[in-house]
Each structure stands twice: as C-alpha cells, then as structure tokens.
Amino acid sequence: MSATTKRVVAEVTVRPFFTLALAGAACCLAGGAQAANLLTNGGFEEGPALNFGTYYRGPLTPTGWSALPGYTPPDILSSAYVQTGAGFAQLLSAHGGNRYLDTNSASPTGGLYQDISGLTPGSLLTMSFWSGRWAQNSSGTLVASLMDGATVLGSTTVTLPYAPGATSATWTEYVVTAIAPTSGTVRVQFIGASGSTARGAPALDDVSLTAAGAAVPEPQAWALMILGFGLAGSALRGRPTAADA
C-alpha cells in the first residue's frame, strides 16, 4: 500500500471525529443563539384588568408597555369580546392567549412602546409581531419601528384598506430587523391609525424581540470539541506514517 493511500485512510478515519466535534459545537452554538423574547408581556396577557368586561379602554397600557406621548393608549380586547352590526362585525379573536390590541382607541390614533436596554452594540435585532383585520371596520395603518432615540433603525407598515363588507380575515406575521446601536438601548414602538373615530385600527398580538450577537461557545461545546480533537489525535498516533512504510 502506498504512502498516499495510507494518508487517505488516516484522513478518512479521523474525519468522523472532527465532524463529531464540530457538529456538536455547532449544535450548542445554535441553541445558545436562540435567545428568549426580550420584551415584557409581548402577548398583552398581563394587566390591566378589563374595565368593560371583555375589553379595556382607558389611560393604562398593558403591563410592561408605556403610552407613546401624543397618542391614546390602544384598546385591549379579549377573545370574549364580540362586535356585531353591518360594517362592524367581528372577524378575529386573539392570535395567541386571550388578549390582543386594537391599536387605536376612542381616538383615531394610538401608540405604545417598550424600551430594552443592555443590548450588545452591533448585535442583530429581530422583532416579529402579528397583525390583522380584527373587525369589518378595522382599517388604516400600523407602523412598527425599532428606534434609537429619534433615529429609526428599522420599520415596517401594515396597511389595511377599509373593507366594511369583509367576511373573513387572518393574522399575518411581520418581521423587522436592525443592528443594536452603540447606546445598547432600543425602543420597540407601535403607532396605529384608522383615520376615523368610527373605525378600529389594525390588530396587534404576540410581539417578540430577540438579539443575536457573536456566538461564544458554551462549556458543553468546548468539552465536545476537546473530546473530538483528543480522539482524532489518538487515531493519528495509532496509524503508520509515510516514513514507516
């Protein structure tokens, strides 16, 4: 058997150990990169108590959120809320859990936000949320933004044309991405506008914000890599070299 053939055999024998080490490390890194939702009460299930039985309207916002200055706090609707009548019929209930928002209120416009700090500058931020036409009179726009002070880092706009004859609707997921600023703080902001006091704005539910920075191997990843490299080294020491042939 030639030296070249021996070398190929050694490489084929060792490669699985390297593959094991690298695959295990990649698995651990991928698991660590899937960060939890950084937002408090992204599904709007926590507070305040519904002051009109099946919905809340008033000066308060869902727990963890704040009213955007100059805008009315959105109405908080429960899945038990029912709206009827031509041009007003209910089309959706909550996307997840029991509560969701009509992003305006008695005013044509509504807004709320939540500030998240302690982010790693340069990390990738991903905000996702669900929106839809919750009733026949639900229309207008919902602007979702990631902000650094007055600077818009990323934004998208949901637009629902007025459709009083609609007979069905679905929830749709939207995603906004941005890079975390040097301040390490980002504002998650929503502004809903229906254009009329007789119309609801687009619905909002299940908001999530995650951050993915430079991956740092976790202890189990390091252990798996060291094990794989150790096994690979043992295999190499146990194989004849070209000089031994």
Count how many Cα atoms sit within 13 Å of the Cα of residue 139 in the half-sphere of its side chain.
15
Written as one letter, the residue type at 66 is S
- Phi/psi of residue 69, nearest 5 degrees: -55, 130
Which residue, chain included where needed, has tokens 């200055």? 69
Q: Is residue 16 part of a domain?
A: no
Q: How many residues does the chain have?
A: 245
The domain spanning residue 111 has which CATH number?
2.60.120.260
Q: Is residue 198 part of a domain?
A: yes
Maximum alpha-carbon separation in the chain = 91
- pTM (two decimals): 0.75
pLDDT digits (tens, 9 = 90+) for 142-172: 999 999 999 999 999 999 999 999 999 999 9
**How confident is the model at residue 93, as a pLDDT?**
96
Using pLDDT thresholds of 50, 70 and 90, give the confidence band for residue 3: very low
For the chain, the domain total comes to 1
Using pLDDT thresholds of 50, 70 and 90, give the confidence band for residue 236: very low
Q: Residue 170: which domain range? A: 55-212
With a CB cutoff of 8 Å and minimum separation 6, the contacts of 209 are 37, 38, 39, 42, 116, 125, 126, 127, 186, 188
What share of the chain in percent tops pLDDT 90?
71
Q: Is residue 143 part of a domain?
A: yes
Q: Is residue 74 part of a domain?
A: yes
Please compute the mean of the pLDDT values over residues 101-128 and round it to a whole number: 97
Q: Is residue 140 part of a domain?
A: yes
What share of the chain in percent tops pLDDT 70?
73
Q: Is residue 20 part of a domain?
A: no
Q: ω before 73 within 30° of 0 (cis)?
A: no
Q: Is the pLDDT higher at 156 or at 239?
A: 156
Side by side, the strands of the sheet bearing 75-78 are 55-56, 75-78, 99-102, 203-212, 124-132, 172-179
Token pair belonging to 9: 């055999």
**How confident is the model at residue 213, as a pLDDT?**
80
Q: Is residue 34 part of a domain?
A: no
pLDDT at 119 over 90: yes
Cα–Cα distance, 86 to 63 (Å, whole number): 34
The mean pLDDT value of the chain amounts to 83
Q: Which of 35, 18, 29 is nearest to 116 (CA)?
A: 35
Q: Is residue 217 part of a domain?
A: no
pLDDT at 14 over 80: no
